[in-house]
Amino acid sequence: MGPRLELFLTAEDRAEHGDSIRRVLSERLPKQVRGWPTHFQEIDDPLDRVGRMRPTDGPVNHRVDVHDVDDWLTTRLGLRQYDGELSARDWLTMSQQRLAETTGGAVFHDELGTLTDARRRLAWYPEQVWRHLLACQWLRISEEEAFVGRCAEVGDDIGSAVVAARLVRHLMRLCLLLEREYAPYGKWLGSAFSRLPAAASLTPAFRGALAATDYPTREAHLCDAYEAVAALQNASGLITPIDPTRRSYHSRPYLVLHAERFAQALAVTITDPDLRTLPHLLDGPAPTLGPRGQRTGRGR
């Protein structure tokens, strides 16, 4: 754990000089910078190889890595011979966490411009991919929004709370998508969400849903959050605005958003031929949307 610096050379210079640069830095780096050790002590635990900053009297085991841009992109994102042209399916193979790592952090000097250009091209999804991912995220919400009430209906309050927590996570990731921010993995999700403009108004609803000890309170806070995020989707200009208010889940005695309405509105705007052949739900089979946006072929 601690800071890392990455140096980028041409592929030829890296092959010729990379090892010697690492060796010279190990021998000549100061042992401390502003009171912090530059040495990272190796850990013997094979399941936890992340070094810890420790003082040393010997060579510094530093975290200055030497790359060339193509090799780095291959390692980070699985891209080979990246020329800036990516298909929609190429984009879908890359995790948001990896894209956030690749495009985040300061660049202090880039005389060749290759790193800056790559980061600029990877800064956000093409619009068609963005629409597809938003549709998928709305369908994830649609898949489970009724389960908060269904679990409570059979006396499973813990199950209801677990589903509610998962829906809060889906909504947080949806907000990041709407704000054109790559979502990090779980450790940093709350931190990334807290920096969004909508965080201040949405956090009370999220906290209320997570802290609720009864179903009616949980449902009320979730519905507040649904309506707020639906309003953000309407304001994005990507779809014709849809009524964002809560409503009954068919004839059942609980309230939902019917989030599939937003997924369907996004799906019909997708024209990319590769994306149109994909189900608009990434972690499961695509449901069939009926004429009123209702899902068919699944148990209610």
Per-residue pLDDT reduced to its tens digit, 212-244: 999 999 999 999 999 999 999 999 999 999 999
Report the C-alpha dihedral over residues 98, 100, 101, 104, rounded to 10 degrees: 160
What tokens were used for 84? 């800036």
- The angle subtended at Cα 134 by Cα 273 and Cα 202, nearest 5°, is 170
Q: In whole angstroms, what is the distance from residue 273 CA to residue 139 CA?
A: 20
- Residues of the chain with pLDDT below 70 are 1, 49-50, 80-84, 280-300
Query: Other C-beta atoms within 10 Å of 196: how many?
Result: 16
Residue owning tokens 């929609």: 88
Residue-averaged pLDDT of the chain:
89
pLDDT value at residue 291: 39
Q: In whole angstroms, what is the distance from residue 166 CA to residue 173 CA?
A: 11
- The angle subtended at Cα 79 by Cα 76 and Cα 81, nearest 5°, is 130
Mind listing the pLDDT tens digit for each residue in 123-174?
A: 999 999 999 999 999 999 999 999 999 999 999 999 999 999 999 999 999 9
Query: Other C-beta atoms within 10 Å of 51: how many?
Result: 16
> Which strand (E) or helix (H) includes residue 41?
strand 40-41
**The whole model's pTM is what?**
0.86
pLDDT value at residue 286: 42
